[in-house]
Each structure stands twice: as C-alpha cells, then as structure tokens.
Amino acid sequence: MSAGTDMYEGDDDDALAGEYALGTLDGGERAAFEARLAREPTLAAAVAAWQERLAPLADAVAPVAPPPDLLARIEARLDETPAATASTASPADVVSLDEVRRLRRALGRWRVAAGSLGALAAALVALAILFPGAFLPPPPEGERYVAVVDRGGGLPALIVQVDVAQGLVRVRAPAAEAPPDRALELWLVAADDDPRSLGLVRDAADIRLEPAVARATPGATLAVSVEPPGGSPTGAPTGPVVYTGVLIPQ
Amino acid sequence: MRHPPDPQEPVDEPLEALLAAVARADRGAYARLYARTSAKLFGVVLRIVKDRGMAEEVLQEVFLGIWRGASSYAAEKARPMTWMITIARNRAIDAVRVRREVLLDPGEDGEDPFAAIPDPFDAAASFADRDALTRCLDRLEETQRHCILLAYCEGWSREELAARTGKNVNTIKTWLHRGLAALRGCLSS
C-alpha cells in the first residue's frame, strides 16, 4: 500500500519497528511511523515482536526500590484518574477520537467531582474552554480538525485547531516546554509524505495554512520537534520529536 | 526461593491475572502488582532519567498509565512485564528528550568515542550466559552492540549516540539497522 519512499518498504519496515521499540526514531519518523501503526497491524506486530526480543535487556538493569511512600502518592492520584475503562490503545498514548467521545460523556461526572482535576479531565476542560463548539453538533466534516498534542499522559502540551476552510492553524500551548535557546516547531505528518512545517510553536498564535498543506490534513498526525532558534534550517525536522497528536475532525 | 503462601499476598499470582483485575479497578490487585514490579520498573526509569526526583515523578506516571491502560492490555500480544517495561521506557525517554537536547553540543574534539561511555554490556553479560539475547548481542560488532544497549538501557537517541561517538547520525542509523537485523537473524536461527 505504500506510495511513500522505499525507505518504508520491505525489510526496512522491520528496522523501523526495531528502532521504534528502541526509542531511537527521530524527527518526523516517529510520528509518521505512529500514523502507520494505527492502520497497519503487521507493523504493530513487528513492534511487539521487537519489544519482546529486547525486553530481556531490562534484566541487565538492577532493580531499585522506590521510596516507601510512592505507592500512597500514586493511589492518591488514582482518585482523580478515571478508572481503567479508557480505550487508550493507540501506540503513542495520543488522545484518540474514541477517547474524546468518552471524555465528552464523562464531562458531567468530572464537573461533579470538581475537587482536583486529573490530566484527562484537564485536557477536556481545555478543549471545552477553547472550543465550545466541540460539545455542539459538529460542523460538516472535513473543514475543521483538532488535536490535543501531548507526550503520553499529563497535561496536554498543545491544543491545535486546524481550520481548513479559513486556512488557519490555531495553537494554544498551555504546557509546552522549550529548552533554552531552542524553538519548538510544529509539523503536519501525513503517512505517505514528508513532514511539512506548520511553523514555530507560540502560545495563542495563529498560523496561516498553505493550501497544499491543508489538503494533507485529513488523517494526519501533528508532531512537535526541538529545533534551533528560528526553526529547522533544512525544512525537515532535525531535532527529537517531543510531542505528538492525531488530528481528528471536530 | 519460595516464601510460605500468604493468603493476603498469593505467591505466584500471574501478572496477567493481576492486570486483568486492575482493568476492573481492583485496588488490591493494583497494590500487589506495584509490589511485584515497582523496583524493576523504577530501576529501568532511573537508568534513563538519572535524577531520582524526576524518576519518582516518571514512575508515578508509569503506574497511572498502567491503571488507565490495563483494560487495553492484550495478553496474546505481549507478556505483562514487556508491556509494563515498554510503558516505563517510553515515559522515561519522553521525560528526558527535551532536557537532553540542550546538552548535546558535540565538538568536544577528538576523544575516543566510546571512552566516556559506561559499558552496560558488562551488566547484561552477568545476568545469564545461557540467554539467547546475550549470546546474540555478543556476536554483534561492538559498535552496533553499544548503540543498541545504550539506546535501550540508557534511552539515548540517535543524536546522543552520534554526538558522543563523533559519528554522524546516518552512521548511527546504519549501525542500529545492521545490528538489529543481525540480532533478529541470530535470535531466529
């Protein structure tokens, strides 16, 4: 099914799966790979096989007893975490469409349990505040997309709304962290294409969306990489990808 | 090394069963799962993030992830420990990637690329000569073996491996790919 470069074909898929399991995929590769993982069971099986092959290496790491009170600290946080009912099977722990639907259903419950907000609840609240329309009947599909971009748990780092009709990308960055002297760059990663830069991440900034990029939006993944100030000098991600998220129709 | 059975804490309770109980929000099973696995997972996390306080934060996230994700755990797809170690490594690597990027200015001039690298293979070799993975790793070229071990155990990225060996990222990628392919061939032979 590959219309991409031959880097993604044949035996090299297994090398990619191995590198994904190792954690060494870089730049847009990881995001592109995760976009494929969601649709290609054979690729997911290859990753699982590598995880099993490499797992004995963890035996080389000496166990270290965590502090005695850590379980109590975790258990205290369970009370603010929805019980294990989430359909969080997506490879990168990204917030999936199913999860957003589940979050919408759960909204009432969290409003009642208003004490302290768990991470998912916080993500939902952020969505609700920024996109009140998210809880109304959706506009016709194919016009607006939203992604909660995170790094697998915790607060969403970015909330990105792509409005294809208006040609705008709206970015909200409640918790994105850039290292000193580095910039965060936002990329749109369609499965069979090279990552396309959407621009640098700035909180509360709108980015103009070029028509060619807009056409690649459906089904794409967003990724954020660490780049030199001013952005990638090459037009492709050069630093590690620190956040990813899937664009879903809003 | 068996302890007498304890009705409170069944010996040899399969981790699959504990995870299935956690998926039903069983707090008792969760505490038993923590007792069985937290030291191993903390070791894995600490090895990658180094900083103890940060490792404690990451371990909390790991166990919250296990609580939330237990219902999506599929026993036919992964062994329980593999699944949990994967979560632990992913969270630990995510936690360090941003921080480490700033440390990565290469150009420390031409020192021996591997001189500063602790050799995790010493530890790997001690755990079991009979183990197939150890035997196959032993057959790899040293540079390939180092890269795989440092990536897995220390969470190093290609850039880190490149910066610390003085090689470029494409060389590291080639080493990783060749090493992984050789490892797979050896393990399946």
B85 contact residues in A (CB cutoff 8 A): 51, 55, 58
Q: Whole-angstrom distance between the N-terminal and C-terminal Cα of chain B?
A: 33
Question: What pLDDT is recorded for position A94?
Answer: 33
* Whole-angstrom distance, CA of residue A156 vs CA of residue A150: 5
Burial B62-91 (b: 16+ CB within 10 A, else e): bbbbbbbbbbebeeeebebbbbbbbbbbbb
**Residues 82..141 of A with a Cβ closer than 8 Å to B: which?**
82-89, 93
Q: Is B42 on the interface with A (CB under 8 A)?
A: yes
Tell me how close the Cα of A131 comes to any Cα of chain B, in angstroms.
26
Reported as a single tens digit per residue, the pLDDT across A90-136 is 333 333 334 434 433 433 332 323 333 333 333 333 333 333 333 33
The ipTM assigned to this model is: 0.79
Give tens-digit pLDDT for B137-189. 889 998 999 899 889 988 988 988 998 888 999 999 999 999 999 999 998 88
Nearest chain B residue to A51 by CA distance is B82
Say how many CA atoms lie within 13 Å of A171 toward its Cβ: 25
Chain B, nearest residue to A41 by Cα = B77
Model confidence at A18, pLDDT cuts 50, 70, 90, reads very high
Q: What pLDDT digit, counting tens, does each position of A124-183 carry?
A: 333 333 333 333 333 344 456 666 665 544 445 667 777 777 777 777 766 666 666 777
pLDDT of A74 over the 60 cut? yes
pLDDT tens-place string over residues B9-58: 556 789 999 999 999 999 999 999 999 999 999 999 999 998 899 999 99
Is A242 in contact with A184 (CB distance < 8 Å)?
yes
Cα distance between residue A16 and residue A7, in whole Å: 9
- Inform me whether the pLDDT recorded for B84 exceeds 90: yes
